[in-house]
Chain A
Amino acid sequence: MSAIAGPRPWSRASGRERLGTVSYHGLMTAMVLAYIFPALWAVSMSFRTDENMFAADQLIPHPVTLQHYARLFEALPGLGQYFLNTVVIAVLGTAGTLLSSSLAGYALARFQFPGRGVLLATLLLTLMVPVHATLIPQYVVFRELGWLNSALPIIVPLLFGTPFASFFFRQYFLTLPRELEDAAAIDGAGPWRAFFRIMAPLAGPAYLALGLLTFVSLWNSFFINSIYLAKQSSWVLTQALQSLIGRYTAQYGAIMAGVTLVSLPILIGYLVFQRWIVRGVSMTGLAN
């Protein structure tokens, strides 16, 4: 049946297996709870009164207050706009990165062409030079293009793919068996068809994983946005949250309320995609 990994469904649960399941869940629950404690702490802070903001016994806030959420919307009336701006950047950026970089990664993994080694080395080199060193020349490029004070410097480069993603896709495509493309070639499918009909669906887990990571990093990115998005109407969510911090003091409750709200869509998205990942795998499972 399925050619792709995934342990067989338990045909019958023996006592030993049930014990294993129980101890697995016990162990995992304990570990995961300890692991996400600091994150829960952040969420918990958003529901605490200022009086209890840093008290060690307030993991479950008592009393619970929603005042910081109210304060957040009062301080940042443009929150809906910032949310939309963030969505546009994250969605377009992720889609562009996935398409362009998977094409490049596939070619790097499967085709022999002049300059292949140079291209791979160049991709890696761009990762090696710290971003701050290229910040100013990049800024000048965007000024020459007339793109300053807009989201174009953030979105457009992503549409052409990122070196990081291209390198990732190269590595992933190298793990996939070649026989499938060979078979497709014998059937007369050209490289484009072979890619879009066979290889890309096969790499579904890679698309989902990298798409998720790209989306999250765009969603949370601050530095580059703060440089190009100077008009308040073009702000993204991280910039809005940052504006709750003064030079020496900060509104911790409102910040954590903002962080909670900003993280929520991603977590929900993750749980939804989680199913797709599993289903995607069983569907591309190449019934043979």
Chain B
Amino acid sequence: MSSTPGRTHSGRAASRRSASLSTRRSRTALLFVLPQVVGLIAFTGVPLVASLGYSFTHWDLVAPAPTFVGLDNWAHLLSDDRIPAVLWNTVRFILVGTTSLLVFSLIAALLTFTPRRGVALYRAALFLPYVLSQIAVGVVWRWMFNTNSGPIAGIWEFFGGDSPDWLLDPATAMPSIALVTTWQTIGYGMTLYVSALQGVPASLLEAATIDGANRWQRFRHVTVPMISPTVFFLTVTSLIGAFQLFDPVVAMTSASAGPATAGGPSNSTRTIVLYMYNQMFNYSERISGLGYAAALAWMLALIIFLITAAQFALSRRWVHYDDPVVRASRKRARA
């Protein structure tokens, strides 16, 4: 406590000044977020809250109005023996699909980041599958996986394996779908990674080089921390997307067109969202309809929410933000 009264006084004045500044800044901030907030409330918030409301009702969508049933749908979640299976299918997809997406799109970004001749072409080529319409993806990949003349089986057999039936075999159908979605989305992940890599200041890399850091060390200690917010963004959003896997399953497994018969063979690719869709539109069990589908949707949201919250908590250890607020809170957390 060596501070003089004068210093204390001027310190207080400064804090008063910064208080009024921060009020002004927070008013500006509200203007910045205004469009998003309005859009959120008008177009997303109402339907979102409504869907939560519907989870306490039964409604088959064609009855004039929903009937309030209290916790019936939520209670049914606990006794629905199909849920563990569809969750497990989803997890099987994540284990293969999300992991490989994150790793391979970073590799693709690193390989094509350096501005050399021809790199633009490589990057465009790697982006091509993401551009391709889902209609073509379904047709082409069903052919790719055929065991008669398909290249996948060909490669497998070249290495001496006895090719499984891929999409037609319960053991391999889900990994096959994961392979296709990874193939489709690497261009997407790569684009985001490249934009992040471009934000890494060359001065930092140069400084590290002068300090004697080798290529790997520069990557590990400069590049990775700098792009970690984007890595974090991709991890969070691709996990959310993976939990909501739907379109590729319908495109690759439906016997007739449409979600009603998708999810095979032997239920091995029925995901939680496909099951939700079926309960909402296709099934006519006692519980079926928007009400139970909404309960399933919110159960899923809760699962994702917990996982995302855990990711945010863990992110303090590895995500580097150039933000004093975050830095301060991290320092506080460490103290």
> What is A's interface to B at a CB cutoff of 8 Å?
2-7, 21, 24-25, 28, 32, 35-39, 41-42, 45, 54, 56, 99-101, 103-104, 106-114, 116, 119, 122-138, 140-141, 156-157, 159-161, 163-164, 166-168, 171-172, 174-178, 190-192, 195, 205-206, 208-210, 212-213, 216, 220, 222-223, 238, 241-242, 245, 247-248, 250, 252, 255-256, 259, 262-263, 266-267, 270-271, 274-275, 277-278, 281
Contacts and interface: CB of A to CB of B under 8 A. Distances in A.
B26 A114 contact: yes
Contacts of B69: none
A160 B201 CA distance: 32
Contacts, number: 314
Contacts of B227: 175
A206 B146 CA distance: 40
B297 A278 contact: no
A107 B323 contact: no
Contact of A157 (B28, B44, B121, B256): B44
13 contacts: A4-B199, A4-B202, A38-B129, A39-B128, A42-B139, A108-B33, A127-B240, A129-B51, A192-B28, A210-B195, A213-B192, A266-B131, A267-B128
Contact of B322 (A106, A138, A178): A178
B88 interface: no
B133 interface: yes
Contacts of A126: 40, 44-45, 48
Nearest to B121: A271
Nearest to B36: A104
A172 B199 contact: yes
A238 to B, nearest CB: 6
Interface stretch (B165-173, B229-237, B260-268): B229-237
> What 3 pairs between A and B have smallest CB-CB spacing?
A160-B39, A133-B297, A111-B29
Interface in B294-332: 294, 296-298, 300-301, 304-305, 308, 320-326
B143 A130 contact: no
Given A28-B111, A172-B196, A209-B195, A138 B43 contact: yes
Interface in B21-45: 22, 25-26, 28-30, 32-33, 35-40, 42-45
Given A38-B129, A100-B36, A174 B44 contact: no
B39 A54 contact: no
Given A160-B43, A178-B322, A134 B135 contact: no
Interface residues of B, number: 109
Given A130-B300, A242-B135, A172 B36 contact: no
A259 to B, nearest CB: 4
Given A5-B200, A28-B111, A267-B128, A132 B240 contact: no
B212 interface: no
Contacts of B51: 129, 133-134, 137
Nearest to B27: A113
Given A5-B202, A191-B25, A191-B28, A171 B233 contact: yes
Contact of B230 (A135, A172, A262): A172
Nearest to A288: B203
A223 B134 CA distance: 11
B92 interface: no
A123 B40 CA distance: 8
Nearest to B193: A209
Nearest to B326: A174
Contacts of A167: 233, 236-237
Nearest to B148: A56
A190 B31 CA distance: 13
A42 B184 CA distance: 14
Nearest to A209: B195
A283 B327 CA distance: 30
B132 interface: yes
A100 B115 contact: no
Given A104-B33, A247-B257, A132 B297 contact: yes
Given A38-B129, A127-B237, A132-B293, 15 more contacts: A39-B132, A103-B33, A107-B29, A107-B32, A111-B29, A112-B29, A128-B240, A133-B297, A134-B48, A166-B36, A172-B195, A175-B196, A205-B199, A216-B131, A267-B124
A163 B229 CA distance: 17
Contacts of B75: none
B276 A132 contact: yes
B140 interface: yes
A209 B38 CA distance: 25
Contacts of A7: 114-115
Contacts of B85: none
A190 to B, nearest CB: 8
B33 A245 contact: no
B280 interface: yes
Contacts of B195: 172, 205-206, 208-210, 277
A128 B124 contact: no
Given A37-B151, A128-B305, A206-B195, A112 B26 contact: yes
A263 B133 contact: yes
A195 B241 CA distance: 31
Contacts of B186: 35
Nearest to A212: B191
A248 B37 CA distance: 45
